[in-house]
Amino acid sequence: MDANKFSEFFGSVPVFKIPGRTFPVDILYAKVPQEDYLEAAIKQAIQIHLSQPKGDILIFMTGQEDILATCEGISERLIECGEGVPPILVLPVYSLLPSELQAKIFDPAPDGARKVIVATNIAETSLTVDGIYYVIDSGFCKLKVRRAAAHVGRVVAWQGRCSRRPTADRCTTRAWAWTR
């Protein structure tokens, strides 16, 4: 895009150059498709939490119901692990959540704890949370599709790997992105 042409077209408005940040990213894919993407994401989050170096985790889910189920699943699994498990702070983010609760994702995790943010794909391009080292992405998203014959207004659909690249870009350093 030629920024100067746009500037001239709009009456010589100023052109601002804002440098982007890029970081090296390792992308890992599941070896086989997962039958239950919700369960697979919970297992992957627990595995990262128990075996990987510090760094917060961002999990992409399709909507509020999946987000809440994932948060509950992670919390339950950690209780089952028993004593000695490092502390974790699980935070949901979805559009109907009050803004003061949504803002908690930007607060640093308590000392010694790992933050796990479970969000819809709105977090893919609209915000960056410092401290995210790991991303878990099922590759599914909710699409608004109208099928009059079936009376369907929304569909959960799988997205190809090419369209999932912004997911990895949400990491502020090294990332592990798990996708289908």
112-126, 134-148, 149-163 — most confident range: 112-126
Residue 130: per-residue pLDDT: 84
Residue with tokens 């039958």: 35
Calculate mean pLDDT across residues 128-152: 74
Give the domains, in start order, of the chain with CATH numbers. Answer: 20-179 (3.40.50.300)
Calculate mean pLDDT across residues 119-144: 77
Helix 37-51 vs helix 64-81: angle between axes, to the nearest 10 degrees? 40
How far is it, in rounded angstroms, from Cα 28 to Cα 146?
Answer: 34
| R_g of the chain, CA atoms, integer Å | 19
Calculate mean pLDDT across residues 92-120: 91
The yes-or-no verdict on residue 163 having pLDDT over 80 is no
Q: Could you count the other beta carbons within 10 Å of the beta carbon of residue 134?
A: 24
The yes-or-no verdict on residue 53 having pLDDT over 70 is yes
How far is it, in rounded angstroms, from Cα 172 to Cα 25?
Answer: 9
Q: Could you count the other beta carbons within 10 Å of the beta carbon of residue 64?
A: 15
Higher local confidence (pLDDT), 136 or 145? 136
Higher local confidence (pLDDT), 30 or 10? 10
Within 8 A by CB and 6+ apart from 141, the residues are 62, 121, 156, 157, 159
Q: What percent of the chain lies above the pLDDT cut of 90?
A: 38
Strands 152-158 and 140-147: antiparallel
* DSSP 3-state of 96: coil
Q: How far is CA 32 from CA 40, 45, 156, in A?
A: 11, 17, 20
Q: Does residue 73 contact residue 90 with C-beta atoms inside 8 Å?
A: no
How far is it, in rounded angstroms, from Cα 78 to Cα 173?
Answer: 26
Provide, for the chain, the percentages of residues in helix, strand and coil under a 3-state DSSP scheme, each rounded to the nearest 5. 35, 25, 40
Calculate mean pLDDT across residues 67-87: 93
